[in-house]
Amino acid sequence: MARSGWMKPVEPTRPSDHVSLGVLAKVFPPSLVNEVVTKVGAGEQRSRLLPAWMMVYYVMALALHAAASYEEVMRNLLGGLQWISHRTSEWSMPTKAAIFKARTRLGAPVMIELFDQAAKPFGL
């Protein structure tokens, strides 16, 4: 049952969709992500629409939004990047094929190394 006075948001995304990116960036700072991408050798040699660092956050966002489609997660990620960076221009939405190729280029070693560097025992 809806709360009294609650209205459905006009926009399809919620602020919480963007907050998850901020939390990921706090737990896994861009400097750490870039360090891991470089260490593993997953960095790109040319400028891409979907750079390796962005795909790291995308893969983590997929886990946070498991019930959402790949495109919806990418829209949330791009919207979050726009919200965090205060960009006024629109991001280009990549195609399914571009997302698939970028995830393949990234590979699992980046995520394994990131986990190895960032994971710490809880409560210590």
| Structure confidence by residue, pLDDT tens digits, 55-80 | 999 999 888 888 888 888 888 888 77
Rg (CA), the chain: 16
- The rounded mean pLDDT for the chain is 79
Whole-number Å distance between alpha carbons of 38 and 55: 14
Model confidence pLDDT, tens digit, residues 75-116: 888 877 765 555 556 667 888 899 999 999 999 999 999 999
The whole-number pLDDT of residue 114 equals 95
Q: Which of 25, 20, 22 is nearest to 114 (CA)?
A: 25
The whole-number pLDDT of residue 44 equals 81
Nearest-10 Cα torsion for 43, 47, 49, 51: 20
Task: Give the residue, 100 or 21, on which the prediction is more confident.
Answer: 100
The whole-number pLDDT of residue 121 equals 82
Per the confidence metrics, is the pTM higher than 0.85?
no
Averaged pLDDT, 32-55:
88
